[in-house]
Amino acid sequence: MEPIVKPMELKTSRDYRKLSGELDDIIQALLEHEYGFYKIPKEKRHLFVMLENMLHLQLMINKGVRVLGGFDTLKIEVYDIRKRHNEIDQSLKNFKL
């Protein structure tokens, strides 16, 4: 019987086959680090951009990740995501026109 879903090979300029292991290593490092600003290696920048958009994971570990600057930046901010969300909520409650 032929499978319903045929395997597909993604053709990109990057090799994403080891992506989950690399992301797991970065998440483990985030759990060990305190809040603050850090420099990241250039070849790992795309992983931090992916991690920056994983909101559910950031809420689970209570560490937000933000890549600072433009396309060539090598700095990130690790922050308390619940505290930041509470500050945003309070500012919206106090906002009056």
Asked if the structure places residue 67 within a domain, the reply is yes
Domain count across the chain: 1
Each of the 97 residues of the chain gets a pLDDT tens digit; together they read 666 777 767 677 766 777 888 999 999 999 999 999 999 998 889 899 999 999 999 999 999 999 998 777 899 999 999 999 999 999 999 887 6
CA 58 centroid distance within chain:
8
Asked if the structure places residue 24 within a domain, the reply is no
Q: Is 11 exposed, middle or buried (0-12, 13-18, 19+ CB in 10 A)?
A: exposed
How many Å apart are CA 87 and CA 82, to the nearest integer? 9
Tell me what pLDDT residue 97 has.
64
Find the Cα–Cα–Cα–Cα dihedral 56, 80, 42, 71, rounded to 10°.
Answer: 80
Asked if the structure places residue 68 within a domain, the reply is yes
Vertex 36 angle, CA 31 and 40, to 5°: 75
